[in-house]
Amino acid sequence: MIVLFENKEECTGCTACKHVCKKNAITMQTDEEGFQYPHVDEKLCVNCMMCVKVCPIKVDKQEDKLFQQQVYAAKNKNHDVLMSSTSGGMFTAISDSVLAHNGYIYGVKFDENLNVIHNRAETAQQRDEQKGSKYVQSDLSDTFIQVKNDLEKGKQVLFTGTPCQNAGLINFLQNQKTNCANLVQCDFVCHHTPSPLIWKDHIHLIESKTGRKVVKYECRSKVKGWHAHTERYYLDDGTDSYKTKLSQNFTDLFDSALVSRPACQICKFSGKARFSDITIADYWGIEKCNPEFDNNTGVSLLIINSERGMKLFEVIRHKIDCIESTFEDAFRVNHSKPSKAHPMRKEFWEDYKNKGYVFVLKKYVDYSIPGRIYWNFKKIVRPVLKFCGIRK
C-alpha cells in the first residue's frame, strides 16, 4: 500500500501527487483543521509510485551553482499600484510584463464568499483581484493541470504561490515532460499558511458581531502605513473597519503560528535555494540599512534566482525604483528557517474542537472582555501620547 506521508508535517497539500495519478486514485480531502491532504483509493491504486516520486517533500532541490542570486530592495514607480499592493508592488510589475505578451497569470484571490483560491487571470482587471497577500492556505484545485494545458498551447504563464506550491508545480510539470520554456515562477518568503477553516470562522465572527456581510477584505491595508500590520474589512452597508480587536484577531493568530499547516513547522523550502525564478517579500529592516528608501508606503525584497528571472527583471527595470542589496541585510529569521511551531498548538486545536472559535480566541489571543477594553484603551491613548510628544 502506498504511504504518501507518515505524519501531517510531511505533506504540504501541493496536489502534485493527485494530478500525476493516471488512475485518478488520489483525492484531496479536508481534515478537521481545514487543511487538504491526499487520500489514496487502494482499489484504484496500481502502486506505480508516481505520486511518491513527484512529492516535493521527498525530492530535493539541487542548488543552481551557475547562477549567482541577486538581491534588491524595490518599489513600483506607480503610486496607485504601490498603495494597493502588500509590499513594493513587485507582483504587478512582473505580471504586467507577462500580460503584455497575452500570457496568463496564476495567483490567489478571494472568491465571492471570501474563500482563498488559486485562479487564472487573463486581463489586468482579473489580475488585480490577485493583488494583496491573503494569509491563508489557498485552494489550488486543478491549477497544475491548467498550467500544463496552457504551456502545451504555447502560452506564456506566470505562476505565483508559496515556495512549496512552486516546488510541487515544477516537479509535476517535469514529470509530465511539459515544455516549461514559457513558464515563470514567482514565490515569496513565507511565514507559514494558516487554516482556511479558522479564516472562515474569523469572517463569520465579524458578520455575527456586525450583523452585516463582509464583502471585501484586506489582510494588509496600508491605511496606517506599510509598517503597521493592519487588517481592514468592508461591509455590505458601505462601511469599513480596521485596527479593532475584532479585525486584528486573525493577525494575532497568524503571528502566533497556532493555526498554520503542520508542514510549515519543518518547511524545507525556506532558505536561499529556491524552486522559483523570482522571490518577492516585504523588505523588513530597510529602515535600518537604507532608511532613505523607506517612506512607509512599502518596499519589496526582490531575489532573482535564475537567468529567466534576470531577463524578466531587466524588462520591468524601468517600472521600478530599486537598489542593490545583500542576503545579510535582507534576511530575517523566517527567511532561512521554518517558523517554529507554537508550544500550545495541540492544546489549541483540542480546545477548538471541544469549545469552538470564540473560546480559543479568548484563551490564546486575549479576546476576553478585559483584553478588548485594554486593546481599545491603547488605541485611544497612543495617538494622544503621540500628539503630546510623549510617544513616538
As measured in angstroms, the least distance from the Cβ of 381 to ligand FAD is 29
Q: Beta partners for 2?
A: none
Report the C-alpha gap between 71 and 326 in whole angstroms: 6
For residues 242 and 375, which CB has a smaller minimum distance to ligand FAD in the complex?
Answer: 242
As measured in angstroms, the least distance from the Cβ of 314 to ligand FAD is 18
For residues 140 and 246, which CB has a smaller minimum distance to ligand FAD in the complex?
Answer: 140
C-alpha cell recorded at residue 277: 525564478
The residues that touch ligand FAD, with contacts defined as CB under 6 A, are 85-92, 107-108, 116, 130-136, 138, 160-162, 188-191, 193, 280-282, 300, 334
As measured in angstroms, the least distance from the Cβ of 135 to ligand FAD is 5
- As a dihedral over the C-alpha atoms of residue 119, residue 124, residue 125, residue 127, rounded to 10 degrees, the angle is 30
The helix-helix angle for 196-210 and 245-256 (nearest 10°) equals 170
As measured in angstroms, the least distance from the Cβ of 82 to ligand FAD is 8
- DSSP code of 318? G
For residues 15 and 160, which CB has a smaller minimum distance to ligand FAD in the complex?
Answer: 160
Can you tell me which residue has the cell 510628544?
Answer: 389
C-alpha cell recorded at residue 138: 489557498
| DSSP conformation letters of 244-307 | SHHHHHHHHHHHHTSSB-GGGGG-SS-SS--SSSEEEEE-TTHHHH-GGG--SS--EEEEE-SH
| End-to-end Cα, the chain, rounded Å | 62
Q: Are residues 188 and 280 in contact, defined by beta-carbon separation less than 8 angstroms?
A: yes
For residues 141 and 210, which CB has a smaller minimum distance to ligand FAD in the complex?
Answer: 141
For residues 177 and 288, which CB has a smaller minimum distance to ligand FAD in the complex?
Answer: 288
Find the angle CA(92)-CA(131)-CA(147) to the nearest 5 degrees: 80
What are the start-end ranges of the E strands in 45-201? Answer: 70-76, 104-110, 116-121, 157-160, 183-188
The closest of 59, 57, 61 to 11, measured between CA atoms, is: 57
For residues 131 and 245, which CB has a smaller minimum distance to ligand FAD in the complex?
Answer: 131
For residues 21 and 232, which CB has a smaller minimum distance to ligand FAD in the complex?
Answer: 232
Element (H, E) at 127: helix 124-128
Residue nearest to ligand FAD (CB): 107
As measured in angstroms, the least distance from the Cβ of 203 to ligand FAD is 15
For residues 86 and 249, which CB has a smaller minimum distance to ligand FAD in the complex?
Answer: 86
As measured in angstroms, the least distance from the Cβ of 58 to ligand FAD is 22
As measured in angstroms, the least distance from the Cβ of 255 to ligand FAD is 10
As measured in angstroms, the least distance from the Cβ of 179 to ligand FAD is 23
Report the C-alpha gap between 25 and 338 in whole angstroms: 32
As measured in angstroms, the least distance from the Cβ of 106 to ligand FAD is 8
Element (H, E) at 28: strand 26-30
As measured in angstroms, the least distance from the Cβ of 163 to ligand FAD is 10
Q: What are residue 186's phi and psi, to 5 degrees? A: -130, 125
Amino acid at 295: N
